[in-house]
Structure 1
């Protein structure tokens, strides 16, 4: 079902209003699924939210358009170039719960009657040119929780707004006079700053008779003071000793680690206090996201990870949508070069490449916005909760094979762009996700060319880096092949590219696999979580052979990514045509001499 009437109303609105940014509203596509800034009700029969913040809308709102949406609950047109008086036909929007018109060029008086908006909870008309007085009938909005009329030209006295539900109030920077009504004196003085209001008069605090000091009370004597001092010092010493004992106990270690988990939820703004307000988010065509920089910085953000190029956040926006934001660090490219690279990356569309939805550039802040994948990265699926019996769902072989096929296709497509010269430069399991078809898709494209080259010691820490990258600090398509080979080994072994052994020794995955297969210790190569699946040993051996070809030390010995795609896709075709009906049992597979011989011969051939 589609809200046909509502779609016609919105198409009429967008055709009649001036806008310099393309908005993908057309009758031929699904408004509920594809239209930018649109939310429908549960059965898609009505549009209940329209969000077009910072969408380059200009001029007055055409009459008899948005006001004809009977089920509309949320309307956000903030941070545009809208002008004219307040749209009085908005009184027809009787189901409205939130109205955001701040940061536009509206002028004239506010509507006198608010009785039609019985459900209104949030009203933000700040940063406009409204004048006249504040209508006392705002008190009729019995469900109002937030009211902002700041930075307008409102005058006169503040009416007595008795709204028990009101939690947030901002009337600052107007021309208001007179006293603050008693009903609003519970709000901080900042809510009224920048006006010519009478100073607030407050009653002196009442002190109970029992708390008043007695005139006849005498001062403490010196012995009493000395005793209190000595006792206090002794108590402090005991507490300090107790803390020191706990500090080095295992229990203290467990307690001290808990806050680190709690700190994962933050605000994106906390990392950058000097954002240049002149910039704005740049969206790419085909995106149906509708938010601006203010939304992004106000969003509740969870740290997903910290990598070579910056910190990645999961940001929950006010419209209940979720995006991934990467905050870049140490960007070396100038603004124009950065923008050109983002335009190149943002226009790449392939089912196995995570699309870049938007970016932001200022002197102090560089952001990239992607879709959020709720299953997490391949790295988290492989390694999270490993060793714990409860809560872990092992990644089966079919999924691992599809991850390899999809990621290979995505990287090969990237390598075919810009005349066959484009390089990804940061292939790793934490940058690979499941697409809707449950094939691997790669993210973080194009960052290597805009970032400051890392020092060799830092680069060698990551087990995905090809030897030549650590030596030259440059990335090549052949180094992408190497990194993909490490991902294949990671899928097969279940081990991180650099991992610690029982003796805390750091082991490099590529070197470890080389040493194990040379000794024909086949049982130690494959992930124990894979040994439960029958009829897959030949496929695993083939993938291992491909992975070992990809991680050849010399770049010239590695296959091209297009060849790798064919090799990985052929794993299932080859084994399906030649596989026997009876599979090698898991216990036999671990020591199968045929398997060991196949692996060993592939290593020697390289």
Structure 2
């Protein structure tokens, strides 16, 4: 051990010696302990050089340094020295899964950058080393199916997402840290002497079974435990009965609603014209009963400025446009020649009429050339409607993905995509600058290509903004795009930066022509674009990233690359590292349109590859999809 520490000091004092020599020595000591014929023949010569592929089996390299050792199912035997990792200071991945390695676990004191550790399926003995507590970036620790003993260290890294110590000989109480308590029973099974949550064994019961308490105290504890069990059983039974009653009531209500819809409504995808009243869940109230009120908002009249009456809307021919996350949309063609879109809202949070009007007014106050204006609304007890302009060119999702592979498909060129990206960015910037500054909400909250509309001049109009204020929170968390961001998946947090993440996904959708997983419609298979593009950059097959419709345009390359850089910054896993939307929009505005017919100078003509500083693993919301490591 003293020699290894001397080596470490030597490296820090004279970098000209080169880190790779010390790392090579460490790997050779590992190989000697395994006595494996294949590794003896393969681990020779140079293992890492610059950013070329590693020469040694199971070794990953980054910038000439060893970043990973993966030796799985190789029948490795022998012991690993406790200090074997001291010189592997850039190590991020270590796996010896399913071998027969014995001895104590390694000391991880100097491998502070480790992210993934998998030593499962071996014969390691002794205690789990406390040096694991210092691994601030640790995401995965799998030690199951070994012979480890002693207590579990008080691991509490917020980054830890996968943890398993099952089928060992561990003992004592499972530490009550937030991280360890977040894992289920399956992470601790097969350790008879472990106690405390999440195991079913009470620590007092375990001590009694080991003879740690006198018979009198044991008897009293047994009686107390039995009484607690009885009380818990009664409480559980009452709760179950209560839930069954609630479930039955909801079932009857849902069955009634379904029957009403089947009797009164035309299927959403049926293009047969009907009227709004025929499609309404509040038919009796709208058709002569206790009506609500159709209200037009100031300066937001319909297309030609005419204000029509409720009866005109009820009698209008209605064509279904689709079933959105928060309500069905219909194209209403009025007899006076007006064409508007009616959105029937559903799953709203409980609120009275005044509250509804106040929130709608806040939405209507947003006025921007790239925001779809709210023309008016209808409110009654059982029916709430929004009225919008009709966007004759459809939405960005259909423009980007519709008609692929057909003769009718009109190519969606780079200049048009860049214009859409700018329009959406400007709208989002307006919402961020003119909404209440809250750290727990996203000003838009549901930004995706299907909510970006195109008018008759192909101008971009962003819709569905501000709905989070009306929708019940659990429904919003399930359906709104911003809630798919990494920080909500891991910490149940959402903020303005969640909108920035959604915007980054939209930019990648425009560049790649692929549908993002976080905004894919039900039944549609999407792609985790942040991870996919990040992997493409890391593995240097960036030529396959861009949609074929724009990849063929000469002069557009520099602009596409620049927009890709901006999108990847927006897709940072950590919200604190994402730029503000104003900064993002400013950078998008600076990109030249390019294209086949562009006469602009290509100011990035010498730009042939991505800046490596924008390929950090933190962009990936799905770490398991990322190849290698870029932590420095």
TM-score, length of structure 1 as denominator length: 0.50
Aligned residue for 1:454, secondary structure, equals: helix
Q: Distance in 1 between matches of 2:512 and 2:563?
A: 11
Closer/same/farther in 2, CA of residues 319 and 472 from structure 1, 3 Å limit: farther
Q: Distance in 1 between matches of 2:612 and 2:475?
A: 35
Please tell me whether the aligned partners of residues 301 and 315 of structure 1 are also in contact (alpha carbons under 8 angstroms).
yes
Displacement after TM superposition at 1:427 (Å): 0.9
1:98-497 equivalences under 5 Å are 262-263=270-271, 265-269=273-277, 270-272=279-281, 273-275=283-285, 277-286=290-299, 287=301, 288-334=305-351, 335-388=353-406, 390-421=407-438, 423-434=443-454, 438-454=458-474, 458-459=478-479, 465-470=484-489, 475-497=494-516
Please tell me whether the aligned partners of residues 435 and 443 of structure 2 are also in contact (alpha carbons under 8 angstroms).
no
Q: Distance in 1 between matches of 2:392 and 2:271?
A: 20
Q: Distance in 2 between matches of 1:550 and 1:523?
A: 21
Q: Give per-residue Cα distances to partners, 1:540-580, cap 9 Å, x unaligned.
A: 01111111111212111111111111011011299999944
What residue is the counterpart of 1:598 in the other structure?
610
Q: Distance in 1 between matches of 2:543 and 2:451?
A: 29
The worse-fitting range, judged by mean Cα deviation, of 267-276 and 303-312 is 267-276
Aligned residue for 2:320, secondary structure, equals: strand
Closer/same/farther in 2, CA of residues 477 and 260 from structure 1, 3 Å limit: closer
Please tell me whether the aligned partners of residues 341 and 389 of structure 2 are also in contact (alpha carbons under 8 angstroms).
yes
Aligned residues: 333
Q: Distance in 2 between matches of 1:371 and 1:423?
A: 22
Please tell me whether the aligned partners of residues 351 and 435 of structure 1 are also in contact (alpha carbons under 8 angstroms).
no
Q: Distance in 2 between matches of 1:337 and 1:473?
A: 27
Q: Which runs of 5+ in 1 are unaligned?
A: 1-258, 585-593
Q: Distance in 2 between matches of 1:266 and 1:467?
A: 43
What residue is the counterpart of 1:94 in the other structure?
none
What residue is the counterpart of 1:532 in the other structure?
552
What residue is the counterpart of 1:520 in the other structure?
540
Aligned residue for 1:313, secondary structure, equals: strand
Displacement after TM superposition at 1:454 (Å): 3.3
Please tell me whether the aligned partners of residues 266 and 301 of structure 1 are also in contact (alpha carbons under 8 angstroms).
yes
Displacement after TM superposition at 1:337 (Å): 2.1
Displacement after TM superposition at 1:261 (Å): 5.4
Q: Distance in 1 between matches of 2:307 and 2:468?
A: 28
Displacement after TM superposition at 1:469 (Å): 3.9
Aligned residue for 1:281, secondary structure, equals: strand
Please tell me whether the aligned partners of residues 378 and 433 of structure 1 are also in contact (alpha carbons under 8 angstroms).
yes
Q: Distance in 2 between matches of 1:464 and 1:318?
A: 41
Closer/same/farther in 2, CA of residues 526 and 418 from structure 1, 3 Å limit: closer
Q: Give per-residue Cα distances to partners, 1:376-410, cap 9 Å, x unaligned.
A: 1111111111122x211121111111111111111
Please tell me whether the aligned partners of residues 463 and 497 of structure 1 are also in contact (alpha carbons under 8 angstroms).
no
What residue is the counterpart of 1:508 in the other structure?
528
Displacement after TM superposition at 1:539 (Å): 0.4
Please tell me whether the aligned partners of residues 456 and 470 of structure 1 are also in contact (alpha carbons under 8 angstroms).
no
Aligned residue for 1:413, secondary structure, equals: helix
